[in-house]
Structure 1
């Protein structure tokens, strides 16, 4: 192990810096202190997943014409790696960040826009597809995605359904025989970070619906529909995590996808552990560090891996709650807020590149003391 090499492996700081920008800022601070720094931006299966894997693996990003969650034309990026593995980031198509708050409508929203990315991967002959689901704007049980891949869904009168949120309570039958046969020949790995079932009190609609604009009545109607959809999907849709991303987890399970925690998937795909072997310090960061950060988020996975390798890890956040004991329990050596002086929450979450750079320099200088 080389003592003065810092592995800078942050997630995005939402609303302020993407992961590559955060990694660059941390690395600059380390170099200011005379350390060598390795920039290794990460993601948790949501926004930034495709970019992180493509950058690390020397792949390319291919534009694909598709639609956003409300059916508006959009160009999304498909990651293509040197071994022909493709990376589908669902949020590239149906991400909540593409829909202004005042226009969010879970009943109109559909995951159909993800299908062209998957189909393009199949056209390219991908033997393996890595799928990130986080950040979706939908609660359609993945019906839109499946219809886009060839499944047929029908209402009680036998009329075909497009797969929008409003179709979930109406669906009474599905026919998967039209699914693209190439899917059966392709290994699919999907990032799943929750154990939520498709329906029920902890299901897709109650857990994810409100943050996507669903009213209490819409949550009730969607949950009833998702319970019926779970019966139609069958046993595979009853696996833990089926409710992930508004039910996209269930759709992926119907395609025989294998689940893996998002941050761990990205760490593996980007070669994090290989770079960790040469590091004497790990710096990771996210916008808000709180008790939830220990429940499988990127900073917790990084801290755990560093601890297992015997490398100290410092977690930095634009905002840090008092209750971070669980994060220390994952293996973090220190959990620190960045920036100077007390700040309102919104300002704290917008931690600048300069704040991260200063914090990284201070940590490295302290390690040298």
Structure 2
């Protein structure tokens, strides 16, 4: 029996590689008990957020480049990006401007900047990469991507001709956008955005309203940030005749999507689809008997383009059964039965705290996998 193991990360507990390894261990234990011959193909997955670089490099090869950038609060930190065998750079915004880099007390989208993401792009350009994939999940910012643009030479000037500061709280000051010093190498570079977010820039479904609170925004901050992003979009429209206000995905990563599309001609792709293409997942699924996927929490949000949904669509195309094993099953997970997932399981085997479940993630995932595969092998 050939089994494809293609999980996302279990955020805060396991990387997608660690999750795949735990599932593999569980399968092997069941196979030993049931005397079943199995071939296991691990394909760790991601959708553009934290772990994207590691997942892609592990699947198709390449190398990790270490560098230093500014974090969301302007502090110098160690960071990284990946380079594939064809010299395509793979960047995850979370490695420079991610929520994971801040404590809960430090979260403040009025002040946080995407400058470090721009530094990662510049580092990729410095080593000759002309094709860049940017995964923009997990951001701590709501600055419209202005910080990223500043790192690459664009100037956002106030009425006195001075550069505005960092953070979403500064955008209302923009009077003129000067692109004359934009890194010229950008013109010869293809940039692709990997994201599972289709939100527009502003309004009740925009970047500030939907994602601002998890980045530390109060209700008052959300109103200010939304107003500031609209001012930013108006400045782009007025000066460059480009509408980023109503483009699906422009609200991704606190408006980073808008800046990438407006100034870098970037194409927005659903992260899971892009990554499945890169790792040639469909070719692997064609030959499989069972596909196993999973993520930290599976619920109604999974239906908006997360890893298990993407896996299910490919598997259904080839009539392959999919099992989803996740950290937890939340509201609306049942809808995934209609998308081609045969069965869904949570790793939690008894009453326990979230902290305990996350701490024991690998053990719990291995055990539930063994139990599930025991049933599969008995058929």
Shorter chain as normaliser: what TM range? Answer: over 0.9
CA RMSD in angstroms comes to 1.6
Counterpart of 2:128 in structure 1 is 125
CA contact (8 A) 1:338 1:356 kept: yes
Counterpart of 2:73 in structure 1 is 70
SS at match of 1:24: helix
Among residues 88, 94, 97, which one is paired with 1:94 in the alignment?
Answer: 97
Instruction: Give the number of aligned pairs.
Output: 366
* Structure 2 residue ranges without an equivalent (≥5): 32-37
Name the CA distance, whole Å, in 2 between partners of 1:304 and 1:137: 30
Name the CA distance, whole Å, in 2 between partners of 1:270 and 1:351: 29
Within a 5 Å distance, the mapping from 1:1-369 to structure 2 comes to 4-34=1-31, 35-234=38-237, 235-238=242-245, 239-254=247-262, 255-321=264-330, 323-348=332-357, 352-369=361-378
Deviations 1:214-266 (A, max 9, x none): 12221111111110111222325232110101001001102111011111122
Name whichever of 340-349 and 301-310 sits farther off: 340-349
SS at match of 2:294: strand
CA contact (8 A) 2:174 2:235 kept: no
Name whichever of 265-274 and 297-306 sits farther off: 265-274
CA contact (8 A) 1:115 1:149 kept: yes
Please give the TM-score of this superposition, normalised by the length of structure 2: 0.92
Name the CA distance, whole Å, in 1 between partners of 2:166 and 2:187: 22
SS at match of 1:177: coil
Please give the TM-score of this superposition, normalised by the length of structure 1: 0.95
* C-alpha deviation, 1:350, in angstroms: 5.2
Runs ≥4 in structure 1, deviation > 3 angstroms? 342-351
Counterpart of 2:35 in structure 1 is none
CA contact (8 A) 1:318 1:351 kept: no
Name whichever of 310-319 and 173-182 sits farther off: 173-182
